[in-house]
């Protein structure tokens, strides 16, 4: 996960709205979600789709920052949209589903989704997931299946948590009251210790293995 690029958005005051599209095969759910999000300041609903084929057309058309994607689309799986990997320029994808299964969250994370949110979640939680995804972070309300516990200090765990949120090194330093160089040092040590090559890989592994649920050393 790189530092926030120019194209990443937060939906904050003065920012361009976060462009959201919704893919769900149930018209009532799809249209209801679109209406709720369209009423939120800082968000703009740019399109909807009801099938995997329509979703591909919607994404390829462009103009989307975050795509909300249902897992079950008729006889298809919404995760099929991610099966070949997300080409450059594709939106961040947040899975919005009724299925509270860690194995589904695990599959979504492995395939490159930026989030996994239940349809029963409060609107505030969905909005937060959209904002995190638009900023380059990850938002999984259902944790992927946990793996081996890491050995992280309290400070390292705080840094990793903020990387998962999509924060830049400057933002992490400001949040923790430490210098940017100190943040870089912490990240370099974690990268080396766990043999990861990027912030994206670090964030994905932290979520997949349940690092954020483990007390620090």
CA distance 45 to 64: 9
- Confirm whether 116 is domain-assigned: yes
DSSP string for residues in 32-89: HHHHHHHTSTTEEEEEEESSHHHHHHHHHH---SEEEE-SEETTEEGGGGTTT-PPTT
The CATH number of the domain holding residue 209 is 1.10.10.10
Strands 139-140 and 76-77: unpaired
User: Same structural domain for residues 100 and 24?
Assistant: yes
- Tens digits of per-residue pLDDT, 85-100? 667 778 999 999 998 8
- Cite the DSSP H helix spans in the chain: 27-38, 52-61, 102-110, 123-134, 154-164, 169-176, 180-194, 199-208
pLDDT value at residue 217 = 46
- Which of 102, 118, 140 is the last residue in one of the domains? 140
User: HSE-up of 60 (CA within 13 Å, CB side)?
Assistant: 7
In angstroms, the CA 196 to CA 192 distance is 7
**What are the backbone dihedrals phi and psi of residue 189, each rounded to the nearest 5 degrees, phi first?**
-65, -40
- Print the domain residue range for 200: 154-213
Q: Is 118 helix (H, G, I), strand (E, B) or coil?
A: strand
Q: Give per-residue pLDDT as tens, 110-130.
A: 888 999 999 999 999 999 999
Structural domain contains residue 196: yes
CATH number at residue 26: 3.40.50.2300
- pLDDT band of residue 189 (cuts 50, 70, 90) is confident
Instruction: For 140-182, write each residue's pLDDT tens digit.
Output: 888 766 554 567 788 888 999 899 888 899 999 999 999 999 9
- pTM equals 0.67
């Amino acid at each position: 996960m790189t530092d926030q690029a120019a194209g990443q958005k937060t939906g904050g005051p003065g920012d361009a709205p976060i462009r959201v599209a919704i893919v769900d095969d149930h018209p009532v759910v799809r249209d209801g979600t679109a209406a709720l999000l369209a009423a939120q300041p800082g968000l703009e609903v740019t399109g909807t789709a009801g099938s995997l084929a329509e979703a591909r057309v919607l994404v390829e058309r462009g103009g989307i920052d975050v795509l909300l994607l249902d897992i079950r689309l008729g006889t298809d799986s919404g995760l099929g949209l991610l099966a070949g990997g997300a080409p450059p320029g594709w939106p961040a994808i947040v899975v919005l589903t009724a299925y509270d299964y860690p194995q589904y969250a695990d599959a979504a994370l492995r395939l490159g989704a930026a989030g996994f949110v239940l349809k029963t979640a409060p609107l505030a939680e969905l909005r937060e997931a959209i904002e995190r995804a638009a900023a380059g972070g990850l938002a999984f309300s259902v944790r992927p299946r946990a793996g081996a516990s890491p050995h992280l200090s309290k400070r390292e765990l705080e840094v990793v948590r903020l990387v998962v949120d999509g924060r830049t090194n400057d933002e992490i330093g400001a949040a923790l009251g430490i210098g940017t160089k100190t943040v870089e040092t912490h990240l370099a040590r974690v990268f080396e210790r766990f043999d990861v090559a990027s912030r994206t890989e670090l964030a994905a592994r932290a979520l997949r293995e349940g690092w954020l649920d483990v007390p620090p050393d």
